[in-house]
């Protein structure tokens, strides 16, 4: 006898339903900077949270991939698979990835289901000024190829649920805006 299940709707512990908060933006825009206090705040509210950060994932899960469009697509496919598994089991997953292409973000949204896209907006010159690793300088010197914003495009989200401009807002305001949204739209209950 075969049992068919809709795995997307499996509730987590205490009937919590997981969802993904997908932070997208240029390198240095502030995705990781936002994800850490956002995760802490949600944990303090009593939720199960996992942060998937682009730099960490590249070191552990997708170190075999480069930065061509094909490799970036594979990177997001793998991350999406992991995020969907966690969401299915009632975890709030904060995904902090450049994810420069609209098609890969659309793919993540479709696969994960419960998904909130946050465009972490920041002018390129501000991102470059924040670059402690010197990646933008290396990309401008031709030492790094396929660098988003320099010789590879970043496709700005057309209809993100949330936009935070890290060149204009405080970190607390950015986190508050995201928390307010997920409460208002029923992803989490107000506390």
The residue among 124, 81, 75, 95 whose CA lies nearest residue 31 is: 95
Spell out the per-residue pLDDT of the chain, length 191, in tens.
433 333 333 333 335 689 999 999 999 999 999 999 999 999 999 999 999 988 777 677 767 776 778 887 888 899 999 999 999 999 999 999 999 999 999 999 999 999 999 999 999 999 999 988 888 998 899 898 888 889 899 999 999 999 999 999 999 999 999 999 999 998 988 65
Alpha-carbon distance values, 39 to 52, 86, 97, 105, 110 (Å): 11, 15, 15, 21, 23
Alpha-carbon distance of 116 to 21, in angstroms, equals: 5
Check if 99 is active-site.
Answer: yes
- The DSSP secondary-structure symbol of 117 reads E
What is the CATH code for 16-124+155-183?
3.40.50.300
Active-site residue (options: 10, 35, 99, 167):
99
pLDDT of residue 62: 66
The structure's pTM equals 0.87
């Amino acid at each position: 006898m075969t049992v068919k299940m809709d795995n997307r709707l499996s509730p987590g512990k205490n009937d919590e339903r997981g969802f993904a908060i997908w932070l997208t933006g240029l390198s240095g825009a502030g995705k990781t900077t936002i994800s850490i206090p956002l995760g802490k705040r949600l944990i303090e509210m009593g939720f199960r949270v996992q942060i998937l950060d682009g730099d960490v994932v590249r070191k552990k899960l997708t170190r075999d991939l480069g930065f061509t469009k094909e490799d970036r697509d594979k990177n997001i496919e793998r991350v999406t698979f992991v995020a969907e598994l966690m969401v299915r089991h009632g975890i709030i997953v904060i995904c902090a990835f450049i994810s420069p292409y609209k098609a890969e973000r659309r793919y993540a949204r479709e696969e994960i289901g419960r998904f909130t896209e946050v465009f972490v907006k920041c002018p390129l010159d501000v991102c470059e000024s924040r670059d402690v690793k010197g990646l933008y300088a290396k990309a401008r010197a031709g030492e790094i190829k396929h660098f988003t914003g320099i010789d590879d495009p970043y496709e700005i989200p057309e209809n993100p649920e949330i936009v935070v401009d890290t060149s204009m807002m405080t970190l607390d305001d950015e986190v508050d805006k995201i928390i307010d949204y997920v409460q208002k739209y029923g992803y989490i209950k107000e506390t």
